[in-house]
Amino acid sequence: MSDEFKKYFDANKAWWNNITPAHIESDFYDNGSFLAGKNSLNDIELPALGDISNKKVLHIQCHFGQDSISMARMGAEVTATDISDVAIAQARHFNDVVGTDVNFIECNTYDILNHINEKFDLIFMSYGVLAWLPDMEKLADICGQLIRKGGSVIIAEFHPTLYLFDFSSGQIAYPYFNTGVYKEITSGDYADLDDKSMGVEYFWCHSLEEIMGAFLQEDFNLKIFKEYDYSPYNCFPNMRAVEEGKYQFSEVKVRIPHVFLLKLDK
Burial (Cβ within 10 Å: 0-12, 13-18, ≥19) of residue 109: buried
Q: Looking at residue 4, what is its pLDDT? A: 87
Average confidence (pLDDT) over 36-47: 98
How many CB atoms lie under 10 A from the CB of residue 179?
10
Q: Looking at residue 197, what is its pLDDT? A: 65
Average confidence (pLDDT) over 57-81: 98
Q: Looking at residue 99, what is its pLDDT? A: 98
Indicate the range of 132-146, 153-167, 183-197, 246-260 predicted with least confidence: 183-197
Parent domain of 119: 3-265
Percentage of residues in the chain having pLDDT higher than 90 = 91
pLDDT above 70 for 105: yes
Which amino acid, one-letter code, is at 41?
L
Largest CA distance in the chain: 48
Average confidence (pLDDT) over 39-50: 98
Q: Find, among 147, 140, 100, the residue nearest to 123 by Cα.
A: 147
pLDDT in tens, 227-257: 999 999 999 999 999 999 999 999 998 999 9
Work out how many domains the chain is built from and give that number: 1
- Its pTM stands at 0.96
Which residues touch 144 (CB under 8 Å, ≥6 apart)? 218, 219, 220, 266
Question: Using CA atoms, how far apart are residues 76 and 72, in angstroms rounded to an integer?
Answer: 5
Question: Using CA atoms, how far apart are residues 236 and 116, in angstroms rounded to an integer?
Answer: 34
Question: Using CA atoms, how far apart are residues 266 and 117, in angstroms rounded to an integer?
Answer: 18
Output the domain CATH number for residue 118. 3.40.50.150
Q: Looking at residue 195, what is its pLDDT? A: 67
Of the chain, the end-to-end C-alpha distance in Å amounts to 25
Q: Looking at residue 2, what is its pLDDT? A: 67
